Structure 1
Amino acid sequence: MSQLDGQPGMYMRLIWVFACTLFFVGAVLLYVPFYPGMPLNALDPSWALGMSYVTDNALSIGRDVVFTFGPLSNVYTQFYSANYDAAYVLIALYVVLSFFVGVYSLFFYRMQALPMLFGGLVILLFGFPKDAFLMLIPVLTTLGLISAELDGEGVSKKKLALFLFCVPVIGVLPIVKLSFVAICAFCIFINFVVLVYKSNYVLAVLSAVIPFFVCILAWVGFGQGIDGFVGYFINSLPIVTGYTEAMNTYNGLIFPIIFMVGALVLLWGLWKNRSVGGLFAFAIIVVCSAYLFLTFKAGFVRDDGHAMMSGLALIMAALVTGPFMQASKRLGTIVVPFLAGGIVLGANTTMDPMQLLSQAFSRLNSAVSGISTRIADPTKFEREYKEILVRLSESAKLPRLAGTTDIYSHGQTILLASGSKWNPRPVFQSYSAYTPALLRMNADHLKGESAPDNLVFAIEPIDGRLPTLEDGLSWPFIFTMYAPASMVDNRVVLLRESDRLPILTPIGDVSARMEEAFQIPTFDGQVYITLSIRPNVLGRIISTLFKPSYLIARVKFSDGQTNEYRIISGMTQTPFLISPLVESSRDFMSLYAGADLLDGKRVVEVMVRPQKGLGLGWRQDFEVKFYGFETERKSHVLQLLGLSLPSRTVEPQPGQCTGVIDRINGALAKPETAYVKEVLSVQGWNTVSTDGFPEKTETVILLTSGSDVLEAEAVIYERPDLADHFKVPSMARAGYSAVIDVRGLSGHYKLGLGLRQNGKLIRCPQFSNEVEIRNQVASQ
């Protein structure tokens, strides 16, 4: 780093001004939503839109909604807000100014242009992961206080002004994102201690009090009741504390180790080569350690690109702590963390200079466009927001429902686009309800007077999770209190019809061990279980410092087929459905017609194991409890599923087909004979060729016994995965599903497929599965 002592010339001043301008402009382009984000039908945009809706409509955050974001979430998400758009822009601008002022306060005394220039380039090119920069702001307040010692000024008026300008942002950040509260609270404490040590008692009190009052003022100013303030921090805490196990992914240890090496070298250098007194050096090391640890956890727990923020944090930490090391010794200490951070960063994002410049110019263009739009056409964003919702509503085809509605497991965007009045459960995206307390909050929401009149339900597990885990405790309530009215694409629309509470009947319990299978008891209806899996002492330490190994459940079906799914220990401590195993929205709706419709997906055995090689953190023994649940059969559900009666037909002509029979009564189709009774369910895809699904074409199910040929109708079951795989949009319509009433049949049949085109029926010759229908009927 360059250090310009004495009176710098005009040339050096220009470099300093240019570096500061680049830094400031880069931060403004990145963090100020001049052109706000608009609705998008995807997982993260759905919660971002949901939180914006919650704030705009004054729902109580911490009571009505429990999430890791507060009423200022739009400062982070940069989403458009119908009520607070201009306010979010101003707050984001203040946050950016605080960030800039915090860094500026470290270098302005000697006009060190190089770190400002380098920091500006890092922000402009790589700064999209906001957490690394937002979490740095509280740290900068502490560094700014201590830098007064470096400059030999004590707390000068200029330093005092810069410090006081940044202090209020410490109160803003916790209600932007709850996970910021740890670094904010820690830095408030360190600032207080440093100022008391300097005998500046008034400023010490102000440094602690101002953030608290700013936090409350912003909370109330954005429509939240003061009575919900404490609830936001307490009720949302399980989401933060449960995050490590629930959301972790594992991609190896090489980059976490590289990060730790860089961080340890930096912290060692701050102590060994310190240019301030021992107490102040210790304070710097403490706050930097906290910052690096929190960004390490944030980046490497979910190792799917989040590690980019860890790399950026390491680079920025080395950058802002440089002035606190002796100039003659700092180079080696700073180079190592810079390289380590660069390696982590480069492994998680593009390093192509042209692409990075293109992204920077794109942000510049968006900001300029947003500023000009706000001046020339202030209502454009409101119109664009409404137009996008209309388009999303048309594409999703979800009807506007009377009364209030909630949507599972996510998809808030399409619900709000439909015009239905949203009545969210507290943890409104099911993958985040990963502790018993959170699961109970959501289940209790269905029992109260404020329960939604309608539900829109889809099976949408993340990270390969067991599908029935997500809001699994709520399923018996849904089955008892709500009934299907229709199915829109892969979503079941349910209407409330009862206030009766579900009854789960204990049907046994067993003691189990890791990597040893336990049996699922036989029960005619649905079987729910709980698992008392807990980490041991080592596991708690590992989880605190890094992340635990995740758990795998291997389930064995009655036909011998096995599948593996990820499970979350907290989600298994309340009852969840294990048999028959539901893996799709159609499976879920089928249970309303009776569990026997999914007989092929009966689970007979389960084995739980930790991720290979990292299982030392779990207790080996755990208890399993079983519960039986029966729900009233809804006969109309068979009609919703497309129930058809088989009819005799002439032998079809052979023809050309391409497709597959995926499942028979919920089980994977296999060469062995499938045994069914009363209802035959078949799913898969079928078409003439993979060039597309022709118009006026229908898939039919063929049952052949001797010379008798029966045909039954199949309905189109949208398969967007086929369209993506074959790159042909019409292939989405090649999916089919059939539910056939076979109560009038008995005996051995060959199950096949046919296609009806323009009234002509052809047989697909490659399909000939064996089916045994076991009904007590007289031979025809």
Structure 2
Amino acid sequence: MDSIPSQIQSSTTSTRAPFIVPLAILAVVLSALLVIPFSPAMPSSGLDASWAYALNEAIDRHIVFGKDLIFTFGPLGAAYTQMYHPTTDGIMLLTSTVLSAALCVGFAVLAIPRRPLALLLLPVVLATAQSRDAIFVAIPFCMLMATFAVTRRSYEGATHVLPKTVGAALIFIGAACGMLPLVKGSFVAVTLFLCCCSIVLLARTRHLKLAVAIPIVALASMLGCWVGVGQPLAMLPNFFIAQLPIISGYAGAMSSEGSFWVVAIWLVPAAAALAIVYFSLSRGEGADGVVLWIGVLGYLFITFKASFVRQDDGHLYTALAVLSLMSLIFIMSVRLRIALLYTILTFFSWSSIEVQTNNFHPTQTAMSTWYAVHRAATGMKSRLMSPERLRTDFDSAKSSIRAAFPIREVEEPVDIYPTELAPIFAYDLKWAGRPVPQSYSAYTPSLDLKDAEHLKGANAPRTVFYSATSIDLRLPSLEDSSSLPILLTQYRVVGKSETALQFVRSPHPKAIDFRKLDEREAELNKDINVPPSQDPVLAKIVVRQTILGKLISAAFKLPSLYIETKFEDGRVQRNRFIPGMAENGFIVAPYVGSVDSVVDMAAGISTMEVKQIRIVGSERGYWRKNIHVEFSSFPVNPQDTAMSLAGVAPESPSPAALHGVSSSLAQCYLESVNGVSKAKFSAEGIETGNAVSVVGWASPSTEKGIAPDEIWMALASENGATKFYKARIKERSDVAAAFHHAEMANVGFNVKVREMTTGPMSMSILTVRDGVVQDCGIRQRVVFAQ
């Protein structure tokens, strides 16, 4: 191997310059300090900040990971999130210290005695990494590279005995590797794989004691940390079992589109790295060389998947950090000329990718080491001089969250859907969190059912705040799809803000009465008729990958699927479709696009807007053409509070004035009925469910600029019976401006009516001003159906 002669030379160089090793050690210590979060983040609102806050609260509230909480991260997750919490601050610092020390020790074993000065670059590489994923996964990778290097070095004494310092270093790195899966559960695959490669190398070179000691120490470290943070020992296997659907479903649910050129640019230095490992390290080393090359290949493949399945800035920097870490490893382990050429390639690849993604900030990158050093120094100083400052900042952060999310009266325990969990903790409320704490992560049928069962179980939340939002433009009703019917039937609406509904659990919840409407085989990219129903309609859709699709998904990711919702008026809404979220059934009609649509369902309102759906996907053979669809419905008992919040106008006793209509006509305009614009009104009438929602404006006289005192809607059946409903008057400055009368701004109206009588009815609009009633002359036919 090329590196052995140069190792002997480096030993001589070290003797001539005794300051080099201490300088290298100083660089290692500085590097380790840069990884430790002395200046942690504070809690805040938002998707990522909420789950980070929840991880800390889970430790504080003695929640069991893998049972009560199923998520990508484990009980040591604070070392990754770097978020402060009084309970987990010590855990965060200790875990980060061990992991950062292990990483730096791994680099030190690689560099000393050959090129110790290369360690001076370590602080720069870590400061520019911007990715905890890349930094932490580099620990087992450094162990593999270090193991290969030390088993090929010539040491004094017995051939198969390593110096005690080297053995101790590898054991220490092994202990850190045991902690990594408890930081992030998805680290288990790459950590286990790379550690196994290292153990095989040690066993093949007859370092059997180390080969046995490392897995024992790693397991002991894992068990000790698990128990040390208050987790029951018997539940550790469950933690890893619970990770299986999270990991297996990730590519299909969390993938996002990105630039092909970014991926291609990254693959160039990745392929070059494999070539360098083969020609400079593996070739001529027999089976050991094969193990090393396979280990590097596996590391790069897992990095590739982690970085580009979800192609956003955060994951992108994982890919870039891996290249810079690889460059530093090559500087320490292969010919300097080759290492420098690879470093130049990495620099150009990094810059090209940043240019492609509009993230090219050379000055900021150049200053990143200074920023990291300054941040670490400031944090250490603050902790030593003002240790109470962190707690003060923490309390201030909680106050900011409370100010942004005012909560007045609430019955505990509480949960929030789909993602914004921070208010629960900011108010110190009792948390009855579902197993998958944020709905976007319940992307397999089993995870979805776990959340739904929790909502029906003994530990269900008393109060639930629900928002109809989603990530990646997904269909909102797909997220925790099995839970929404439970909220509509076993909980009741008690309040509403601009963004969230407040549900309270019913005292005696009843089982949901699902009624099958239809079952059929449909086709991808073909329209599927939605059965009409007064009740909410669920669709269970099974879309399967072909063998080709499974292979491509395993290697990288598939193009996204979409669902197109077609409405009665011809409008089409396109959303991201996640197959695993659709298998248990999701509400397909009405379309859940806001909390108002959920309020309507709780109020028992049906407008029959959804006509068809279509699953849209690539025609390149990734998905089976035939898809299985099953429709069902479930009744929702109308809730009084929901009807009030929905703005349903109760039938009102008609004032006497309404029976004495003036001969002069008011000026009115119906803008939409049930979301259908006037231009699309059918001559046969507007068909609806059991409700009609009318939007428009009305004025006793636009010429005189008169606004009405009241606006009424009348519904007359074919037998002549008439019902009256008082509309809500709305400000319409646009109408006032159009007629050049600023004083007639309050002419807009909307009225929503829930009608239990079926059949056609004639709708008319009346205005009242100073006791004078005027008819608008509108007779719009509306057909109600149950």
Alignment of structure 1 residues 65-464 onto 2, 5 Å: 65-113=69-117, 115-124=118-127, 126-153=128-155, 155-274=162-281, 277-305=285-313, 306-327=315-336, 332=341, 335-337=344-346, 339-344=348-353, 347-348=356-357, 350-357=359-366, 360-464=369-473
Q: CA deviation at 1:402?
A: 2.3
Structure 1 distance, partners of 2:671, 2:129, is 45
Say yes or no: does 1:34 pair with 2:43: no
Q: CA deviation at 1:521?
A: 1.3
Q: CA deviation at 1:280?
A: 3.3
Structure 1 distance, partners of 2:169, 2:708, is 72
**TM-score if structure 2 supplies the norm length?**
0.83
- 1:608 corresponds in structure 2 to 615
The 8 Å contact of residues 124 and 369 in structure 2, kept in 1 or not, is answered as no
Structure 2 distance, partners of 1:661, 1:383, is 57
Partner SS state of residue 135, structure 2: helix
| 1:748-776 residue CA offsets vs partner (Å, 9 max, x unmatched) | 55799xxxxxxxxxxxxxxx999936389
The 8 Å contact of residues 726 and 751 in structure 2, kept in 1 or not, is answered as no
The 8 Å contact of residues 467 and 583 in structure 1, kept in 2 or not, is answered as yes
Partner SS state of residue 616, structure 1: coil
Q: CA deviation at 1:740?
A: 3.8
Structure 2 distance, partners of 1:699, 1:95, is 72
- 1:695 corresponds in structure 2 to none
Partner SS state of residue 564, structure 1: strand
Shift in alpha-carbon separation, 1:365–1:772, aligned structure 2, 3 A: farther
Structure 1 distance, partners of 2:466, 2:777, is 32
Structure 1 distance, partners of 2:534, 2:394, is 50
The one-letter amino acid of 2:451's match is: N
Structure 1 distance, partners of 2:18, 2:665, is 88
| 1:540-593 residue CA offsets vs partner (Å, 9 max, x unmatched) | 111111011211111211122111111011111111111111110121121111
Shift in alpha-carbon separation, 1:629–1:149, aligned structure 2, 3 A: same
Q: CA deviation at 1:291?
A: 1.3
Shift in alpha-carbon separation, 1:670–1:390, aligned structure 2, 3 A: farther
- 1:761 corresponds in structure 2 to none
Structure 2 distance, partners of 1:376, 1:325, is 45
The 8 Å contact of residues 322 and 330 in structure 1, kept in 2 or not, is answered as yes
- 1:713 corresponds in structure 2 to 728
The one-letter amino acid of 1:267's match is: L
Structure 2, unmatched stretches of 5+, are 156-160, 698-706, 715-723, 732-745, 768-775
- 2:52 corresponds in structure 1 to 48
Q: Which is further off, 412-421 or 206-215?
A: 412-421
Shift in alpha-carbon separation, 1:87–1:331, aligned structure 2, 3 A: closer
- 2:590 corresponds in structure 1 to 580
| 1:20-54 residue CA offsets vs partner (Å, 9 max, x unmatched) | 6456535533x312122111110000010011101
Partner SS state of residue 502, structure 2: strand
- 1:622 corresponds in structure 2 to 627
Q: CA deviation at 1:72?
A: 0.4
The 8 Å contact of residues 605 and 754 in structure 2, kept in 1 or not, is answered as no
**TM-score if structure 1 supplies the norm length?**
0.84
The 8 Å contact of residues 649 and 725 in structure 2, kept in 1 or not, is answered as no
The 8 Å contact of residues 36 and 79 in structure 1, kept in 2 or not, is answered as yes
Structure 2 distance, partners of 1:369, 1:618, is 54
Q: CA deviation at 1:299?
A: 0.7
Structure 1, unmatched stretches of 5+, are 655-659, 686-697, 717-733, 753-767
Q: CA deviation at 1:258?
A: 2.1
Structure 1 distance, partners of 2:301, 2:59, is 31
- 1:693 corresponds in structure 2 to none
- 2:536 corresponds in structure 1 to 526
- 1:633 corresponds in structure 2 to 638
The 8 Å contact of residues 20 and 116 in structure 2, kept in 1 or not, is answered as no
Q: CA RMSD in A?
A: 3.8
Structure 1 distance, partners of 2:297, 2:596, is 50
Structure 1 distance, partners of 2:54, 2:626, is 40
Q: Which is further off, 151-160 or 211-220?
A: 151-160
Structure 1 distance, partners of 2:356, 2:469, is 29
Partner SS state of residue 224, structure 1: coil
The 8 Å contact of residues 569 and 676 in structure 2, kept in 1 or not, is answered as no
The one-letter amino acid of 1:424's match is: G
- 2:702 corresponds in structure 1 to none
Structure 2 distance, partners of 1:185, 1:210, is 14
Shift in alpha-carbon separation, 1:149–1:224, aligned structure 2, 3 A: closer
Partner SS state of residue 604, structure 1: strand
Shift in alpha-carbon separation, 1:546–1:700, aligned structure 2, 3 A: farther
Structure 2 distance, partners of 1:500, 1:16, is 73
Q: CA deviation at 1:179?
A: 0.9
The 8 Å contact of residues 562 and 615 in structure 2, kept in 1 or not, is answered as yes
Q: CA deviation at 1:535?
A: 0.8
Shift in alpha-carbon separation, 1:381–1:684, aligned structure 2, 3 A: farther
Percent sequence identity over matched residues?
25
Partner SS state of residue 388, structure 1: helix
- 2:782 corresponds in structure 1 to 774
Shift in alpha-carbon separation, 1:274–1:326, aligned structure 2, 3 A: farther
Structure 1 distance, partners of 2:642, 2:123, is 60
Partner SS state of residue 5, structure 1: helix
Structure 2 distance, partners of 1:699, 1:175, is 66
Q: CA deviation at 1:425?
A: 0.5
The 8 Å contact of residues 712 and 725 in structure 2, kept in 1 or not, is answered as yes
- 1:721 corresponds in structure 2 to none
Structure 2 distance, partners of 1:106, 1:684, is 75
Q: Which is further off, 315-324 or 75-84?
A: 315-324
Give runs of ≥4 in structure 1 deviating > 6 Å: 1-4, 9-13, 645-654, 660-663, 674-678, 682-685, 698-705, 742-746, 768-771
The one-letter amino acid of 1:624's match is: V
Q: CA deviation at 1:711?
A: 7.5
Structure 1 distance, partners of 2:364, 2:666, is 56
The 8 Å contact of residues 603 and 646 in structure 2, kept in 1 or not, is answered as no
Partner SS state of residue 577, structure 1: strand
Q: Which is further off, 53-62 or 84-93?
A: 84-93
Structure 1 distance, partners of 2:404, 2:708, is 25
Structure 1 distance, partners of 2:110, 2:777, is 75
Number of matched pairs: 717
Whichever of the two has the greater Rg, that structure is 2
Structure 2 distance, partners of 1:95, 1:684, is 64
The 8 Å contact of residues 413 and 462 in structure 2, kept in 1 or not, is answered as yes
Shift in alpha-carbon separation, 1:172–1:283, aligned structure 2, 3 A: same
Structure 2 distance, partners of 1:11, 1:609, is 69
Structure 1 distance, partners of 2:461, 2:708, is 38
- 1:513 corresponds in structure 2 to 523
The 8 Å contact of residues 130 and 317 in structure 2, kept in 1 or not, is answered as no
